Amino acid sequence: MKLNKWYLVISIILVGIVGVYSLYVRDTVISFFNGTENVFLDKIISVLYPRYYTDKFRFNVDFFVHKCDQIVVRLVIVYLLGSLFLIFKSNINKWFNSITANFTLNNINYLNIYYFVFLLWICKDWYFLFNDLYQIKAFYKPILLFSFSFKSMPNILILNLVLSVLYLATLSSIFNIYRKWSSVLSIICFVFLQMVFFSFEKIDHGYVPFTFLGLIICIVNFNQNNQLIINQLQKIAQVMLVACYYFAGLEKILSSGFTWFEAENFKVFMLMHKSYFTDFVVNNRVLCAILPIGAMLFQLLSPLALYNRKMSVIFIVFGFLFHFNTWLLFGVGALLHPWVVCYIVFWNKKMES
């Protein structure tokens, strides 16, 4: 009964949102994008979509109206998925509990060493990076979280201090010295420095699952004596990782339909990101047809990796190939991509043996 009430309330709200949007907001949005002044919309956009002020020189009104329509469509999708989750809650819980997770107290030690060695490797040249960035501090534009606290770029002394703490805390986590707190300190510094790095008009998605995994490892470190929580957290980490791939696939479908399944679309992307192999691939019909379909299927079917151990192994193999090809053909990412580093979440005892 209680659940039905909630359904009714949420449904009314959703119908209200869709109705108000179609009858009033959509026209206001169109006239705003056509140049009519609207202080309220301008404020919302400056906070939520700061790239608009660049994009408005690139795209026409239809692009932005499509984006607004998408917000409503996505709200409906989230609502429907949320409803399905509530209806099948017990089945989903059962499925969640069936995911293989074998992190034990013993291999958490190795997990920490593995993660923090990679963190150190990722940040190895950040001293030079932040000194370079500080030189061009005139270009600093704080991201949303920094817009209240660091309106101008933090001083280089502060940045170097945070970087030193990051290195020390990471080493401390590797060698198991005050690991609980050193891992937290390390992740806080890592996130802080990323925030500075991304305050130059470009947010890089390469570190996202890696950062999420770091947060999970911190929580694991505080619950080292609780095998149940450790298992649950490993399962959350697995769901989080495949969700990153799944959402990347879903975004492509929602933003540009099924064009990613077409060879022509792939060719255009290849020509925009030329590499040593561009000519070979662009002139090969079979590769132009297979590669984009393979990439889309890999992303959209990634949740299958949670089904069983065999599927997770297949996911890992295709994941390596996916990132390797993206690096080789588009010059995007790296040979050992930070997303690939996160495949450790599928580690279990059977794999070990």
Partner 1 sequence: MKFKIVNITVSIFVLGFIVPFVLQTDVFPFVRFGMFAEKPKINSQKELFLISYQTKDGKLHAIDYQFTKQSKWHQLALNYHLRKQEIIYLQKLNESFVEYNARKWFIDKVVIKSNYQQDTVKLAIYEVK
Question: Which residues of this protein are in contact with partner 1, per CB under 8 A?
Answer: 48-49, 51, 53-55, 57-58, 67, 70-71, 74-75, 78, 135-139, 143-145, 191, 194-195, 198, 200-203, 205, 208, 211-212, 216, 219, 223, 226, 228-229, 232-233, 236, 239-240, 243-244, 247-248, 250-252, 254-257, 259-260, 264-265, 268-269, 271-274, 332
Quote the CA–CA distance of 178 and 55 in Å, as a whole number.
47
What's the closest the beta carbon of residue 245 comes to partner 1, in angstroms?
Answer: 8
What's the closest the beta carbon of residue 306 comes to partner 1, in angstroms?
Answer: 14
Q: Are 264 and 289 in contact (CB under 8 A)?
A: no
Quote the CA–CA distance of 88 and 158 in Å, as a whole number.
50
C-alpha distance from residue 97 to each of 35, 93, 140, 230, 239 (Å) = 53, 6, 45, 13, 12
Q: How far is CA 261 from the centre of its chain?
A: 22
> Hey, is 277 helix, strand or coil?
coil
What's the closest the beta carbon of residue 328 comes to partner 1, in angstroms?
Answer: 15
CB nearer to partner 1: give 99 or 174. Answer: 99
Structure tokens at 27: 């026209």
CB nearer to partner 1: give 23 or 272. Answer: 272
What's the closest the beta carbon of residue 195 comes to partner 1, in angstroms?
Answer: 6
Quote the CA–CA distance of 301 and 246 in Å, as a whole number.
7
Q: Are 82 and 149 in contact (CB under 8 A)?
A: no
What's the closest the beta carbon of residue 273 comes to partner 1, in angstroms?
Answer: 8
What's the closest the beta carbon of residue 300 comes to partner 1, in angstroms?
Answer: 12
> Hey, is 200 helix, strand or coil?
strand
What's the closest the beta carbon of residue 32 comes to partner 1, in angstroms?
Answer: 17
CB nearer to partner 1: give 7 or 247. Answer: 247
CB nearer to partner 1: give 133 or 169. Answer: 133
CB nearer to partner 1: give 58 or 310. Answer: 58
For the range 161-169, what are the long-range contacts, defined as Cβ-Cβ under 8 Å and sequence gap of 24 or more? 162/189, 162/192, 162/193, 163/123, 163/126, 163/127, 163/130, 163/189, 163/193, 165/189, 166/123, 166/126, 166/190, 166/193, 167/120, 167/123
Hey, what amino acid is at 328?
L
CB nearer to partner 1: give 181 or 200. Answer: 200
Quote the CA–CA distance of 179 and 318 in Å, as a whole number.
34
SS3 content of the chain, % helix, strand, coil (to 5): 80, 0, 20
CB nearer to partner 1: give 23 or 57. Answer: 57
CB nearer to partner 1: give 43 or 74. Answer: 74
Nearest Cα neighbor of 111 from 227, 234, 222, 226 is 234
Q: Are 104 and 225 in contact (CB under 8 A)?
A: no
What's the closest the beta carbon of residue 353 comes to partner 1, in angstroms?
Answer: 28
